[in-house]
Amino acid sequence: MYSDQLLNELREKARILRRDVIVSIGVGVAGHIGGSNSAADLVAALYFYKMHHDPKTPKLEDRDRFLLSKGHVAILQYAALAESGYFPVEDLKHTKEIGFYLQGHPDVQKTPGIEAGTGSLGQGLSIGLGMALGMRLKGIDRRVYVLLGDGELAEGQVWEAAMAASAYHADRLVAIVDQNGLQANGWIEERYNSYPIREKWESFGWRVLETDGHDMEQILTVLDDASRPEGKPTVILAKTIKGKGVSFAENVVGFHNGMLTEELYRKALAELS
Amino acid sequence: MSDTNQRIAYGKTLVELGKENKRIVVLDADLGGSTMGKLFEQAYPERHFECGIAEANMTSMAAGLAQAGMIPFTNSFAVFAGGRAYDQIRQTIAIGELNVKICGSSAGLSDFGDGATHQSVEDLAVMRAIPNMTVLSPADARETAAAVKAMVEWQGPCYIRLNRNDLNNVTPEGKPFQIGKPYVVREGNEIAVLATGVMVEKALEAAYTLKDKISVRVVNVSTIKPLHTAAVKEVIAGCKGVVTAEEHSVIGGLGSAVSECLRLERIPIDFVGIRDRFGSSGHCYQDVLEYYGLTSEHIVETVLELYKEI
C-alpha cells in the first residue's frame, strides 16, 4: 500500500532524527537519548508523512498539531522541527544553552512549532483535548496528536483527560503511547505497574490501535486508520525499544537521561550514519 | 442578591461579553451552579465545557483552548482553581503566557461553613509568586463586573479572586477597572489603609469610626499583581503610616506585596490579615471573620497602635 520509496525516505528521516538527537546532546552533558530514540520513527512519520503543517507559517490555523506530553524528549521534537525547516539544524547543538530558544523542555513562547508547554508529566493530553475542542468550535477539521510515555500513564491527569475526551467525543484527538516499557528508574512492570494498558483505554471509551513503533509500514497504517473518525478519540499503542538505534543505549536504564563520553558519542554517530 | 454578589456579577458579565465576543469560553468542574458559570452555560451551551470533578484536566484544557485562539475562563473554588491545579497553571499556562483566565471563587474564608479545606488563605500568595501571572481581587460586585471586562481585554494569564457572600457595593459606579492601579476610596492624610476584597468595606468603617481622632485614607488595591512601587507611593503620598487589610494570610498576599513596594521607604507598615493559620468552619461569615481578626475593629486597633509609633 505504501511505496518502498516512501517507506525508505521515512526510515531515513528517522535515522536523521536519531542522529540529530545525539548531536544536540553532545559530549559530557546529560540528555534524554532513550525516550527520544524510542519515539523517533513515530515522530518522523508524523512530521514527514502524516501531518499537514507549514514550517514557514508555524501558526497556520489550518494545521495538524503535535504535542509532546513526554516533554523530556524535547530534543526529538526539535530535531523534527529543524529537519522540517522551522529553524536551522545547526542550532540543535546549542540546545539548553542559557537563554537559547531551544530549552530543556518544550516552551510555546520560545520555539516555533512547539504547541504546548510540557515537562511536568501527564498534562499534554488535556492540552490536546482543549485544542481539539477549540478547533472544533472554529470549524478547523485537523488532528491533534499527543505523544505520551508508558511510564507517564501513572499520572492521574492522563485518565482525567481520557475520560473527558471520550465524554466530548473528541474524535480528532489521537494519543500515541510510546511503549518502551522503561521509566526513569527501571522496567515499568517491576517498578510501578501501569499495565495492562489496552484494557484501560478501551474502558475509557477510546478506540485502540496497536503497532510496532519501529515498523514504518505499520506506523503509517495505524496513523491512516486513526484518521477515520469513529465518534471517539483514538489511542495508538506503539511497542518500542528505549534507545533504539544506539546499541549501547538500547533498553539501558542509565540512558533515560544519559551522558555521552567522546568515545560513546562517536560510536553513536557511527551507528546512526 | 444579584447586585451585591461577586459571583453573580462575574457570571452575568461573562454572558454579556460572550454575546459579542465569540472567543470567550467557560469551563467548570461541577461547581457551575456556585461559580455562576451556569449562566454562561445556559446562554451559550456550545461554549461552556463541563469538565467534571477534574480541575487539573480542566486547567490544561483551558491552555489548549487558548492555543486554539479562545479566551477561556476556568471556574472553581479558589482552593481548587488555584491550588489543586497549581502545577497545570504554572506549566501549561504561565510559562507560555497563554491567555487563560482563572476564577478562584468562594475565596478567602467566604465559604464559611465548609472550613479549612475550602477556605483559601494562601491563593494570592501562590498566584502572585508565579511569573507572568496577573492577580485581581475586586472589592464588590460592581468592581467585579468591571474587572471581568478588563480581563477579557488583558492579554495573558490572569487570576481573579471572588467572595462567595453578598457584599455592599463600596466602589464608584461606572468606574472602569484599571489593572495595576490602586485608588483612593476615602480621603485622609495621616494613615493609609490599603485594603483588598471584603476588607475594603471594613476599612471604610474603620476610617469612619476614627474620623474624629485620626484622618484615615482608604485605598482599594484590587490588583495584587502587578503592583508597582510608584503606584503605591502615589496612593499613600502624605501619609505617615500604612496598614494593609486582607482576608488572606499575612504571608505572601497584599501586606507582602505592599511591603515589597515600600522596602526602601522609611514608613511604618502593619498588617491586618490571617496569622499563618488555616481557616475554620463557622455558622456565619461574620463569625469567621471576627474569629480571624478581620473586622473594622481590628483595623481600628491596628491603626491606633501604628499611630502611636509615628
- What are the CB-based long-range contacts (under 8 Å, 24+) for B279-286? B279/B109, B279/B115, B279/B116, B279/B118, B279/B119, B279/B121, B280/B115, B280/B116, B280/B119, B281/B112, B281/B113, B281/B114, B281/B115, B282/B112, B282/B113, B283/B112, B283/B113, B284/B112, B285/B109, B285/B110, B285/B112, B285/B165
In a domain, B28, yes or no: yes
Closest residue in B to A66 (Cα) is B64
Considering the domain architecture, whether residues B234 and B143 belong to the same structural domain is answered as no
Q: How many domains does chain A have?
A: 1
In a domain, B173, yes or no: no
Q: Which positions of B are catalytic?
A: 55
CB B241, CB B310: distance < 8 Å: yes
CA distances from B264 to B12, B258, B260 (A): 43, 11, 9
The CATH number assigned to the domain holding B91 equals 3.40.50.970
Say whether residue B53 is in contact with chain A using an 8 A CB cutoff. no
Along the 310 residues of chain B, how does pLDDT read in single tens digits? 459 999 999 999 999 999 999 999 999 999 999 999 999 999 999 999 999 999 999 999 999 999 999 999 999 999 999 999 999 999 999 999 999 999 999 999 999 999 999 999 999 999 999 999 999 999 999 999 999 999 999 999 999 999 999 999 999 999 999 999 999 999 999 999 999 999 999 999 999 999 999 999 999 999 999 999 999 999 999 999 999 999 999 999 999 999 999 999 999 999 999 999 999 999 999 999 999 999 999 999 999 999 998 8
C-beta atoms of A126 and B65 within 8 A: no
Q: Please give the sequence-ordered ranges of beta strands (E in DSSP) within chain B, or none if there are none.
A: 24-28, 48-50, 71-77, 101-105, 134-136, 158-161, 183-186, 191-195, 216-220, 223-225, 241-249, 269-274
Q: Which residues of B touch A117 (CB under 8 A)?
A: 63, 91-92, 95-96
Considering the domain architecture, whether residues B147 and B188 belong to the same structural domain is answered as no
Task: From B97, B126, B161, give the residue that closes a domain.
Answer: B161
Cα A176 to Cα A199: distance, rounded to the nearest angstrom: 15
CB–CB contacts below 8 A, A to B:
114
In a domain, B169, yes or no: no
Question: Could you tell me the pTM of the whole model?
Answer: 0.96
Q: How many domains does chain B have?
A: 2
Task: From B130, B161, B192, give the residue that closes a domain.
Answer: B161
Length of chain B: 310
CB B67, CB A115: distance < 8 Å: yes
Considering the domain architecture, whether residues B237 and B101 belong to the same structural domain is answered as no
Considering the domain architecture, whether residues B155 and B7 belong to the same structural domain is answered as yes
Considering the domain architecture, whether residues B29 and B59 belong to the same structural domain is answered as yes
Considering the domain architecture, whether residues B240 and B270 belong to the same structural domain is answered as yes
C-beta atoms of B65 and A132 within 8 A: no
Q: What ipTM describes this predicted complex?
A: 0.94
In a domain, B236, yes or no: yes
In a domain, B176, yes or no: no
The CATH number assigned to the domain holding A30 equals 3.40.50.970
In a domain, B248, yes or no: yes
Residue (of B46, B51, B76, B48) closest to B61 by Cα position:
B51
Considering the domain architecture, whether residues B157 and B102 belong to the same structural domain is answered as yes
In a domain, B210, yes or no: yes
Task: State the best of B28, B58, B86, B92 to mutate against chain A, taking most chain A CBs within 10 Å.
Answer: B92
Take residue B212 and report the three cell numbers written for it: 474624629
Backbone angles phi, psi at A127, to 5 degrees: -65, -45
Residue span of the structural domain in which B69 resides: 2-161
> Which residues face B26 on adjacent strands?
B48, B73
CB A25, CB A64: distance < 8 Å: no
Residue span of the structural domain in which A50 resides: 4-271
C-beta atoms of A157 and B70 within 8 A: no
Q: Which residues of A touch B56 (CB under 8 A)?
A: 123, 126, 156-157, 160
* Residues in CB range of B42: below 8 A, 6 or more apart: none
Considering the domain architecture, whether residues B258 and B297 belong to the same structural domain is answered as yes
In a domain, B167, yes or no: no
Task: From B129, B161, B193, give the residue that closes a domain.
Answer: B161
Residue (of A241, A238, A198, A206) closest to A219 by Cα position:
A238
